[in-house]
Amino acid sequence: MNQPHIVLIVADNLGWGELGCYGGGALRGAPTPRIDQLAREGLLLQNFNVESDCVPTRSALMTGRHPIRTGCLQSVPPGLPQGLTRWEMTLPQLLAERGYASAHFGKWHLGDIQGRFPSDRGFDEWYGIPRTTDESQFTSTLGYDPAVADLPYIMQGLRGQPSENVKLYDLESRRGIDAELVQKATQFMRREHAGGRRFFLYLPLVHLHFPTLPHHDFAGRTGAGDFADAMVEMDYRVGQIIDEVERMGIAEETIFIFCSDNGPEFRAPYRGTAGPWSGTYHTAMEGSLRVPFIARWPGRIAPGRVSNEIVHVTDLLPTLAAITGGTVPTDRPIDGVDQGPFLFGQQDKSLREGFLFHIKNDLRAVKWRDWKLHYYWEPEVNEGKGKLESPYLFNLTRDPKEETDVLVHNTWVLGPMLRMVRAFHESCQRHPNTPPGKPD
C-alpha cells in the first residue's frame, strides 16, 4: 500500500520518564509492556518536543504551525470563541484530500462551539470531550453551581451535522472514558478497512490527566495507587489498538505513532516524572518540552532504533502529508518540516536543528542543537524569576537538568539562535498572528 493507514495515539500529561522504555515502568510501580514492545519494534525518540500544555500542542499537531500563529495559546472558559479558527487547515482536512476516512476519539480542546468541533474541522466523526478532564470534578466539588458554570459533557458528532451532548462528564464517566474511546476506535478501524478505505485514527486518550482515576477493572491493580493503576490501564488500552491492527492483518500497511501532548503534571497527588529532565508542563524546562514518541511501520521504519535528534510536534503534519502524497498549504507559514527521510533511516540527522518555544505571547526559550537559551527563568510552575536581564544558556548534553549557566563562555551560540528568532519575527510581520479568541 502506497498510502498507509495512520494510527496516532496521544497520551495526556505523560512525562518523559514514565514508561518502561524511557526508564520508568516498573520503577514507577506501573509496568508498561505493550508500549515498551512497540518501542522495540520501531523508532524511539529521546528528543521529541511539544508545547507547554494541552491547547497549544494540539493546535501545533493539527496545523503544523506554532500556536502563537494560530491564537491557541491556552484554554479559555467554555462557550467563548477559542481554539482553531476555521481559516486554519487541519491534518484531517489534508488527509481527506487524499481519500482518507478520519475519526477523533478523545480529548479535543481546540474549540467547543458549533463550527469548531472535530467534525467541523475535518474529521468524519468524533466522540469525546471538547475541553479537558479536570471538568469531570465539577459536579463533585463543594459549592458547585450549575447556574453559573456549564455542566461538562461527553459529546459526539458527524461531519455536516451539529455535535451533541451524550452524557455528563463526571468522575464516574472519567473512569470509563478511555475504554469507550478504544472500543469506538476499533469499530472505526474495522469498518473502514472492511470498506477498503484508508483511515486516519486520532486517539487522544484522557490518561494521565488529573484527576488520574483508573477504570474500575484496573483500580488496585498495582498496589501503588491510582496513578500507577491508570498507567497500567493506559498501556493496556494502547495494546488493544495494537492487537486490532494485528488482527486485521494491516500492521505493515499502518504507521503507528504514540506520543504525549506535554510534560508531566505538577500537582500532588498526580505529579508525574520527566526522568532525567527538570521541570513539568507549563514551564520552558526540558521536562516540559521533551515527551515520549514512538513510531512503528514494519518494513519502513527500522526496529530497535533510538535517536536523540530534535523533532518537534509541528513536524507531524508535513511528515504525514508527504507520506500520503499530500501537500501542505502554501498561503501561510508552516513551521513543521517533513521528517520522512529521518524516520525511514535515509539519513541519521533530523531535518531541523532547533525551534522557538513560547508560553502565551512570550518567547521563553530557544533550542538549537545541544543548546538551550532561556529568556525567562521558571524551573517550577509558579516559581519563576520572570524575564531575565541576561539570558541563561545551558548545554543539554553535559547539563541535562539545566543547572549551570554557561553563556559567558559560549556567546557564539547566540549567533545562530538570534538568527532563528529574527527570521520568525519577520515571518510574523509578513503573516500576522491570529489573536486568541478571534471569531470565525
418 HSE (CA, 13 A, CB side)? 7
Query: Which residue in the block uniquely carries the three cell numbers 467554555?
Result: 78
Distance between first and last Cα of the chain: 38
Residues 6+ apart with CB under 8 A from 394: 371, 372, 374, 402, 403, 404, 405, 406
How does 269-297 read in b/e, with b if 16+ C-beta sit within 10 Å?
ebebbbbebbbbbbbbbbbbbbbbbbbbb
Instruction: Name the helix (H) or strand (E) containing 76.
Output: none
Report d(CA 144, CA 166) in Å as an integer. Answer: 21
C-alpha distances out from residue 307 to 292, 343, 352, Å: 12, 10, 14
DSSP track, 238-256: HHHHHHHHHHTT-GGGEEE
| 264 SS3 class | coil
Phi, psi of 398 (to 5 degrees): -85, -20
Please name which of 14, 122, 53, 43 lies closest in space to residue 358, comparing C-alpha atoms: 53
Please name which of 79, 86, 132 lies closest in space to residue 107, comparing C-alpha atoms: 132
- Residues with active-site annotation: 54, 109
- Helix and strand numbers (H, E) in the chain are 10, 15
Instruction: Name the helix (H) or strand (E) containing 133.
Output: none
Report d(CA 60, CA 364) in Å as an integer. Answer: 17
Query: Burial level of 325, CB count in 10 A (0-12/13-18/19+)?
Result: exposed
